Amino acid sequence: MLALLALVASPVRGDVPADALAKARAALAKADGIAAEAPLRSALRSGANADLVRAELGEALLLQGDRRAAREVLYGGNFVAQSAARGWQVRGRLELAEGRYVEAGQAFDNSLKIKADSGSLWGDIARLRFAGGEQAQAIEAADRAVKLNPKDPRALELRGLLIREQFGLFAALPWFEAGLRVASDDVGLLGEYAATLGDMGQYKAMLVVCRKLTEVDPGNVRALYLQAVLAARSGQTSLARKILLQTGTVLRDMPAALLLNGILEYRAGNTNLAVGHFDRLLRMQPENLQARMLLTRALQRQGLNQQAAETAQGWAERGDAAPYLLTITGKAHVALGRKAEGVALFERADEVGNNGPEVLPPGQPLGVLALTYADAPNLAGNAVPYIRGLLDAGDDAAAVMAAERLQRANPGAAEAWLLAGDARLLSGDNLGALDRYGRGASIRFNLPTLQRIDYAMRQLGRGEQANAMVARYLRQNPGNPQAMKLLSFGRQSLGNEVGAQRLEAVLRARGLRNPS
């Protein structure tokens, strides 16, 4: 607090022309960092005191993506009283962008002490909380941001994003549409609106929005990516590759783009390139099952059956292994002359059922994990591997205790509730698991949450309730293939063959089931 008071009370010499600040702030309101920087630099060259423009200049540089220069400006001196709240907020944005959550929180707190009724500040606080896994607290902050400034495009966009995570795609649309009524040319809103329409399967509407986005922002990478996805889904592989090439190297580290690139190269017959994309994605996300299956398939197609079998090793042995992974792994074993192992995998792939979760291998000895856990038991990075190790060792009671402790330390994180549910489920407490899953779903109702609740309900003999819940999820997320498969199995298990066959027909039409 003393540092804050000293900063605000810092002496100021060398006034800034009023029109320079007015022009800069008007440009910042439009998120135009280049236009904002020019009058501020001019004022500095004329002898203006740097502290008078520090907050605005730092924001202008941050908007341009020049974090290094923004840091030099924002930490190169003090803020004056008139711009201290803005300066601390921009510092917080910089720290948040670089993943320094503690420093971001401290900066936002300082801004909050000066101006507690700033809608944009509460929006930034919501982003920080969401990035830190505090989804429930993020929702509260986003609500406050919208109430303070109901016509702020950024606040409406953020609320739409959180609603999409919390309830589903359909529920998010009104928020994006409300934002676009206020700012019809807003790039962020157009991008999220287009992506949500695409995820819902409304491809014609998505294309209209993408075209609008490219009019507003020619060469917009997200618009190009979404159009590439649309071309890929309609079977236009060459067109999709051509569109994706226009994005250059901007998306080279984006997991979804790596996945799309790999699929397109595989379709085009460039299996070696597909292997490269899938392998890189799997190194980035070792637990990405889809990437593992696609890499296994690409390796097997290249005749690299040993590498294919090694890629699937451990995952194909799990009781909840996907049938497709079992099938391609079985083919690799047969090609290697291990026919008995291949046939066993084929037989498992033919078994129809709803398998529950299994413990992922902890990766390190339990004793090592325990030492790390003891240092900081409330950190997910320490707790999750330790809990996996306990479950793998059969110590269910200790695993439940550790998972519940993590959940109590992170009550606003949906993932903490899911982990507590997993621990109870694997210890045989289906009712306790369902309770934890339900609490997690009230914060973030996504596909992993749906699959867990569905399994727990069926274990408790609540098949009809499970089907109704999956159907509600599909109303919010139309056409989701995993949910459709889940509902198909659920209907079949209750004897509703007609309902199951309707879903299977849709899945086959999309190439997601083998023709019968």
Dist CA 402 CA 303 (whole Å) = 45
Cα four-point dihedral sign 33, 34, 39, 42: positive
* Average pLDDT estimate for 290-298: 92
16 with 153, same domain: the answer is yes
CATH of the domain at 287: 1.25.40.10
DSSP string, 273-341: HHHHHHHHHHHH-TT-HHHHHHHHHHHHHTT-HHHHHHHHTTTTTSTT--HHHHHHHHHHHHHTT-HHH
Dist CA 342 CA 350 (whole Å) = 13
Domains identified in the chain, total number: 3
148 with 10, same domain: the answer is yes
Do the domain assignments include residue 392? no
User: Of 147, 166, 185, which marks where a domain is finished?
Assistant: 166
pLDDT digits (tens, 9 = 90+) for 25-83: 999 988 889 999 999 999 999 888 999 999 999 999 999 999 999 999 999 999 999 99
Lowest-pLDDT choice from 27-31, 319-323, 353-357, 386-390: 353-357
26 with 162, same domain: the answer is yes
Q: Is 363 or 64 the better-scoring residue by pLDDT?
A: 64
Do the domain assignments include residue 149? yes
Do the domain assignments include residue 300? yes
Report the pLDDT value the prediction gives residue 93, as an integer from 0 to 100: 96
Q: By residue range, what is the domain housing residue 514?
A: 462-516
Do the domain assignments include residue 416? no
Residue 1 pLDDT exceeds 60: no
Report the pLDDT value the prediction gives residue 358, as an integer from 0 to 100: 56
Report the pLDDT value the prediction gives residue 250, as an integer from 0 to 100: 85
Average pLDDT score, the chain: 88
Report the pLDDT value the prediction gives residue 3, as an integer from 0 to 100: 41
User: Of 166, 196, 226, which marks where a domain is finished?
Assistant: 166
Do the domain assignments include residue 429? no
Question: Would you place residue 362 in the very low, low, confident or very high pLDDT band (cuts 50, 70, 90)?
Answer: low
Lowest-pLDDT choice from 318-322, 358-362, 499-503: 358-362
Do the domain assignments include residue 28? yes
Give the predicted TM-score (pTM) of the model. Answer: 0.78
155 with 8, same domain: the answer is yes
Residue among 115, 141, 146, 107 at smallest CA distance from 126? 141
* Average pLDDT estimate for 8-17: 54
Query: On the CB side of 62, how many CA atoms lie within 13 Å of its CA?
Result: 23
**Orientation angle between helical segments 323-335 and 339-350, nearest 10 degrees:** 160
User: Of 166, 189, 215, which marks where a domain is finished?
Assistant: 166
Q: Is 388 or 498 the better-scoring residue by pLDDT?
A: 498
Cα four-point dihedral sign 6, 11, 14, 17: positive
Question: Would you place residue 393 in the very low, low, confident or very high pLDDT band (cuts 50, 70, 90)?
Answer: confident
Do the domain assignments include residue 426? no
161 with 256, same domain: the answer is no
Burial of 6 (0-12, 13-18, 19+ CB in 10 A): exposed
Do the domain assignments include residue 356? no
139 with 264, same domain: the answer is no
288 with 152, same domain: the answer is no
The amino acid sitting at 242 is K
Residue among 228, 189, 229 at smallest CA distance from 209? 189
Dist CA 166 CA 187 (whole Å) = 23
156 with 260, same domain: the answer is no
334 with 474, same domain: the answer is no
272 with 161, same domain: the answer is no
137 with 26, same domain: the answer is yes
158 with 21, same domain: the answer is yes
Dist CA 322 CA 114 (whole Å) = 54
Dist CA 332 CA 341 (whole Å) = 10
Q: Is 469 or 376 the better-scoring residue by pLDDT?
A: 469
Residue among 150, 144, 139, 148 at smallest CA distance from 182? 150
